[in-house]
A = this chain, B = another copy of it.
Amino acid sequence: MSDPRWWGWGAAGERRPVGPAALAMLAERAGAAEPSPPVALEDVELRPPAELPDALAAAVGTGNVLDGPENRLRHAAGMSYPDLVRLRTGRVEDAPDAVVVPPDPEAVAALLEVCGRERVAVVPFGGGTSVVGGVDPVRDGFERLISLDLSRLRSVSVDSRSQTARLGPGLTGPQAERALGESGMTLGHFPQSFERATIGGFAATRSAGQASTGYGRFDELVTSVRLAAPAGELRTIETPHSAAGPALRQLVLGSEGVLGVITDVTARVRPLPEQRRYEAWIASDFATGADVVRRLVQEEAAPDVVRLSDAEETRVSLALSGTEGVARRALDSYLRLRRRADGCVLIAGWEGEREAVSRRRTLAARILRAGDAVALGARPGRSWYRARFEGPYLRDELLDLGFIVETLETAHTWTRLEELYAAVGGALRAALEGQGTPPLVFCHLSHAYRDGASLYFTYLARRRPGEEIEQWRAAKRAACEAIVGAGGTITHHHAVGRDHAPYMNAEIGELGLESLRAVKQRLDPAGIMNPGKLLG
């Protein structure tokens, strides 16, 4: 994508207007919001950049150190709600002193060596799509900080026989898919951030995509990594598996830039699917629908994509989807006719050879029907597929209109999933109602496993003008505490960054944290790598 907007997701000028019916629904449910368009680029003031050591430019080449204000601004934040608020309002707290764009892995190694010696903090930057503050320029005592932009590391090498590909960390989702497509292959990794997020980011954050139930999460696809750390290079062996001690690859995956920079990723790929078949079903309620998903997985009949919206998400997404014509009216009357006002849409998608898709669909359909789900056909499935990357565009519009829109996710075993669902939803509603901004809170279940699933919550409320961050913080804290209280994970696939770091102790305990800090101390003795993230 060329020239994306600096304060949000889409290309500059690109719009996805919210329709009148949706606006009416929002006004009725969340109240009248005060619009908040973004400030102009010229109106954003950045602190003057600190001077960087000459050795730095020498390590990567002078032309590869960019310190103009727009470049600095474009690397000053990720895509979390507080990040976007800071950008849109021009209240950018800090920005990197420069953006460094190394031309190859060797330059990365040379750069880290210099930065370690000179005590320059380094924030690795892929697509800049972190929604947890993962690329925020947190100085943590360092006087100088650079954003290490990996966009030039885009090598691709495919081994068709072994169905693996070695990929540069700077490739975005579409760039990687285009290159793999030339060999007839695909990663099958499609998170909502696909259009801008990168291979290195997928690996550093343990990304999961919409089709990860079928293709596997990114951490399951990766067979080998190369990490440039200030202390040297870490490289894992390129074999399908090894029992030679703890899996070092698993220490790099999810390391979020605090140990070093991922400079190479070898991942399993597979042939491009001959067919993609997506369809929608409707379950009678969320608990029944969740039980059907559980049976699909446990009976080895899960589609490649399976996601179940709760009743509220079903209603809201119908209203927001813009398909206010025939499809929506048909669905509406269908739901009324069947007395499924609390009906929950379930999207099921299969990808692969035609014959396999058909065989697997038959298997799944039997279980879906046995679980009282009703087929809505391929048309709404296709709509979902076409709109699957739309969320962040829509968020820009809703932010313009003056709403807070935020998502968060967690996971648990089937046995405790309902408890977690109730706790997080309740906490979000209470936290936002308590601030006088009654929210819409909705959820979908996705990423289903034999032993459990993830829950993905979205909430939407009127923003509190001038107190957006405080409003967000109160809701975030309430949700995180509810998750921890219910024994769920603080993140199934959004990673830790700044926002979840306070909850790492609940997740892995003090000794767990100290074990990771011991590794960091060895790989990054000066502590320059992505300060303030992950390990607190």
Contact = CB atoms under 8 A, between A and B. Distances in A.
Given A298-B270, A451-B268, A237 B508 contact: yes
Contact of A241 (B268, B489, B494, B523): B489
A521 interface: yes
A356 B207 CA distance: 32
Contacts of A454: 240-241
Nearest to A507: B244
A239 B411 contact: yes
B159 A241 contact: no
A250 interface: yes
Contacts of A359: 359
Interface residues of A, number: 88
Contacts of A63: none
Interface in A257-307: 268, 270, 294, 298, 300
A414 B493 contact: no
A528 to B, nearest CB: 17
Interface stretch (A20-28, A118-126, A334-342, A511-519): A511-519
Contacts of A235: 509, 512
A210 interface: no
Interface in A205-253: 205-208, 217, 219, 223, 229, 231-248, 250-253
A384 interface: no
Contacts of A298: 163, 270
A413 interface: yes
B163 A244 contact: no
B241 A246 contact: no
A504 B245 contact: yes
**Interface-central residue, A219, A495, A518, by most chain B CB under 10 Å:** A518
A172 interface: no
A239 B250 CA distance: 17
A515 B523 CA distance: 7
Contacts of A471: none
A324 B388 CA distance: 62
A220 B404 CA distance: 39
Contact of A507 (B163, B237, B508): B237
The winner among A162, A164, A356, A510 for most chain B CB atoms within 10 A is: A162
Contact of A236 (B219, B231, B512, B534): B512
B162 A511 contact: no
A237 B483 CA distance: 12
Contacts of A234: 508-509, 511-512, 515
B522 A514 contact: yes
A250 B247 CA distance: 6
A449 interface: yes
Nearest to A420: B239
A161 interface: yes
Contacts of A489: 237, 239, 241-244
Given A254-B247, A413-B159, A489-B239, A519 B508 contact: no
Interface string A46-89: 00000000000000000000000000000000000000000000
A534 B244 CA distance: 8
A452 interface: yes
Interface of A: 159, 161-164, 205-208, 217, 219, 223, 229, 231-248, 250-256, 268, 270, 294, 298, 300, 352, 356, 359, 410-415, 447, 449-454, 487-496, 500, 503-504, 507-512, 514-516, 518-519, 521-523, 534-535
Given A208-B241, A245-B508, 6 more contacts: A163-B451, A237-B507, A241-B454, A244-B507, A359-B359, A515-B522
30 contacts: A162-B414, A162-B452, A164-B413, A232-B511, A234-B509, A236-B508, A236-B512, A237-B508, A239-B411, A239-B413, A239-B489, A240-B450, A241-B449, A242-B489, A243-B489, A243-B496, A244-B254, A244-B503, A245-B256, A245-B516, A245-B534, A246-B252, A246-B519, A247-B250, A247-B254, A248-B508, A248-B515, A270-B298, A514-B522, A518-B518
Per CB-CB distance, the 3 closest pairs between chain A and chain B, nearest first, are A250-B250, A240-B452, A242-B489
